[in-house]
Structure 1
């Protein structure tokens, strides 16, 4: 009986102490104002026990309910999340039959509280160790409402269900508590702004800020703020955005080498022509060259076809061996007497027709100079 009176007294003190402040929910602090702060508190708890809870092995010793008071401590991790550890001394444990009595118990809980709006209402979940005749670990789920009187002091009312897995027990609890936040500063009324003294207006000339220096780092006539192509060569003509102006031109290589009668040897006098062709191909590495071999009309067509192929192959080999041109870029084709330049039956015509001929063109961009 004394224990029941003590629990009821704690509940009454909690309610009376909370209501005595006379401050309403307008003082609810924002979640971010509570972040990083700890609190401590006291509470009273009522437990409605599962019908299968027994004080003794006797089937008629069912525990009906329990009540008690305890302490708690918590920490606000973020504007919406809070952790809480609580201990409750269950000083009054009653059974449904007066023929049986139950020992006092206890309840130790750890819960995470979630405030959806970072203010008053919250949900909770966690675990409890309920010691009523036997210690049992239970899963907690519930919710509550917290009423703030200022940014330090608040009271709350919450309800929760507790499920104990091993024995399939389901208990319900109601809890009323008062908490006090440590740290932070209590809000005080804002001080009235000091009256502004009237002063005589004094007209002064506004200082004119000097214009920033205009820079043209690459000296192309376009300032850096408008220049989309930095560091263009000073010799190049540029457009309004500071980029080099290009013009397209056609680069052409024509290679002609003549041979002695019935010969496929490249004479030394043509070394300069080969060097010029090699330089062109090095300058334009995307260009490939087709070397066409030709003969005069003297001799059989089959013989001339083979001879013209030898002449084209000889020039191709010189470019590969002497000038390091990639073999894949060179093609040799012998046409024999199919493409005569001079069809007259003279020795001069024969000299003209004994040749290789190669032509290639490519489009290149060239910077326009100032």
Structure 2
């Protein structure tokens, strides 16, 4: 009878594993060993039981960031205070099967739990359990399990205790690692293309082929000789007039037509004697990665935060959005919440530690909607778990001769 019960219970718990992998939420399946201490006040026939060991399996899954449920099956081997009729020490075997509700206190590590268990060992008992434990992250997929539990017999005032040590494999995660260098190369290529386009447009408006100080678009006398004084149309001034031409700042434009006196000698000037100005888009980017299921900024003193704050100070009209992103593992609602918390953590850091004006920063979580890497390999979720902040501003500068 005991073997049939154990086999049917094992089948029931093992069926949870595919259910966990099919569920959108993160889950785990594990094995464990335990030390079990039965109440010494148990009546016969179980009153002779002494401390023993056990092995078991469990399967659980997260309902949300904080809550999870778990099914458990264990087999215990308990010693006897009495010997058999031959005077030999023997063990009694029994099974325990049931389910628990878990509440996680911090980052899927420490948790408390409670549930109901059915125990068969020299009879049947219903137990209410209460305990606490911790998941130890061994890798992206594996975690250690430690627990302490008390088991209260519902029908009698009997209290057992147990210590558990196990290992579990996590389902539902998609922790990957991508090629950051490839993404950086793509971004750099895009920036170069923008810069090249801007440069071409600027040349078409400021090109001065004959170097007479009048741009080609306004030069009616292309090909003027070097050193020859020209008028606003780029044409040489006649000899009788040339003697009277005065160019105080030596920019090639006579004072009577120069609207910008004393322009720097290094600046190119237009027909009005003013420096030729070019608008350039300048930008700064901020990238922050997070540990699995964490919202803590691990490197708050990274120089990139100070550089970002300096950029915001220099360009006082620029505003920025702090984007939070997550990997694809777990429920979409859980990832959305986690990415929002990460974005708010970086925004708070920039405001409180680096003095960025709070009104110029917003935080928004995008969850798993903007993955950088969809390869599904083991460390690309580390790349997908990130913060991105991009902000640009227009800088006006004078072209050089």
TM-score, L = length of structure 1 = 0.42
Higher-Rg member (1/2): 1
